[in-house]
Amino acid sequence: MIRSIEQAGLDEAALEDLRPRVLGRLIRPGDESYEERRKVWNGVIDKTPALIVECTGTADAIAAVNFARDRHLPISVRGGGHNVAGTAIADRGVVIDLSLMTSVLVDPRRRTARVGGGARLGNVDHETQAFGLAVPLGAVSRTGVAGICLHGGMGYLTRRHGLTCDNLIGADVVAADGRVLTVDEQNHPDLLWALRGGGGNFGVVTSFEFRLHPIGPEVWIPLVMYPAESAPKVLRFFREFMAQAPDELMVIAVFWNTPHGEPIPEGARNVPTLVLLGCYSGPLGQGEAAIAPLRTLGTPLADLSGPMPYVEAQRQIFDPDYPDGRRYYWRSIYLPALDDEVIAALAGHAARRPSPISSLDIWGLGGAMARMPLSASAFAGRDAPFLLGIEANWDDPGQDDDNIAWAREVYRDMARRFPAGGTYLNFPGFGEEGEALLRGSFGENFARLQEVKARYDPTNLFRSNFNITPAAHRPAVASS
């Protein structure tokens, strides 16, 4: 545990040099707010940075980058602080904290939004839905936009409008040498390609520009909970249904336990279930018919399906199940098929969950996400029809080992028996496999990412992340 800034090789003289260059606070070990500000969403993460630089804008981020680089200190960047691996916090390093930078500026004529690097999904939805527009994002409103975009971004609109990163059209990036790069298709297009799913390796993204799409204001939500014993029948239907489903319909099948209280009927609370959950974002009048087949696969424990404002769906369905401070360990693997052998394996693993709030989530992919050319972005996991999310969620620190071991065993078993290759890096565990995890996830794009890294960060300053090491002997980016 760091007790003072001096323990990290910093002294008051160094901080006095930085302080006038930053409008935000410099938060150090021992400061009143330090314990709270070093925390992230995942309660398992317990790291002690030497300094947290609270940024109010891009100029503060420039000062923080220059300060840390000149003193050879590790750098991490905190946007929403929601990545399960806790990469937002650098142990004994400098945290460049963008969490105050939450502005969202919507241009309804161009259908674009300029989003601050610390914004969360709820900030974006609140502003864009005022114009009947949306960015394809995730489904938990407190998720940081930066993290979800830089590693892909799956949610209710993925099949209709692609990943979050597919809709990234520009960014402002503080590079390793402290310069601000304006990034778009005309300026540094190689860096834009890397930011589309390649992670936080290339600089501090202080703002994002996204393409917007007309959505809502209401959408249809299928939310049907079937008894766990009916999972084989339901999942066999699910695999055939998703192969023909319209792009406007996104569905996830979830092994879980039903909630404890209302509106679940008394006799059906806190029991194992297979949930079909999703969103139909097409014409509202067609939504009930589009989701009807998902509601008639037997007698459900509960059927909470219905129309809902899109902005409410984004924050009411999943938010209560993922509170700040709960303990999380998530893995993922793309599945080449959802055949009967896969279904049986998943049912067995679900029955052995050590925590009733853990889940196995089968995302039905395809649609716009799959039609995007591999060369258009660093994100590579486009071909698989399904993604398996392995979520270990629990509250008692004394149960850490059991829950993490369960998730790791599910991952190892599924990867061995049903190899499709690759991990969705928003569900990465703790990144234990290092470069092997990245090579498997980026495939043929990995070498190109190393080239981009060498051009924009040849000394690997930004390495407190899922780190892509720079290709050797490449020149740094020229001045712009």
Q: Residues 26, 59: contact at Cβ < 8 Å? A: no
258-267 tens-digit pLDDT? 998 888 888 8
pLDDT per residue over 313-343, tens digit each? 998 899 999 999 999 999 999 999 999 999 9
pTM, to two decimals: 0.94
Distances (CA, A) of 65 to 77, 104, 181, 339, 463: 10, 24, 14, 49, 13
The average pLDDT across 9-30 equals 89
H or E segment at 335?
strand 327-335
Question: And the tokens for 137?
Answer: 């994002």
324 C-beta neighbours (distance < 10 Å), count: 12
As given in the structure block, the two tokens for residue 21 are 């260059």
Tens-place pLDDT, residues 239-298: 999 999 999 999 999 999 999 888 888 889 999 999 999 999 999 999 999 999 999 999
- For residue 4, pLDDT over 60 is answered with no
The domains located in the chain, with CATH, are 5-97 (3.30.43.10), 104-215 (3.30.465.10), 218-417 (3.40.462.20)
Tens-place pLDDT, residues 96-117: 999 999 999 999 999 999 999 9
The angle, 0 to 180 degrees and rounded to 10, between the axes of the packed helices 445-456 and 435-442 is 120
Average pLDDT score over residue span 404-423: 93
What average pLDDT does the segment 122-139 reach? Answer: 97
pLDDT of residue 289: 98
Strand (E) positions, 118-240?
133-134, 168-174, 180-183, 204-211, 213-214, 218-221, 223-227
Q: How far apart, in whole angstroms, are the C-alpha atoms of residue 390 and residue 402? A: 14
Res 300 pLDDT > 60: yes
pLDDT band with cut points at 50, 70 and 90 for residue 8 = low
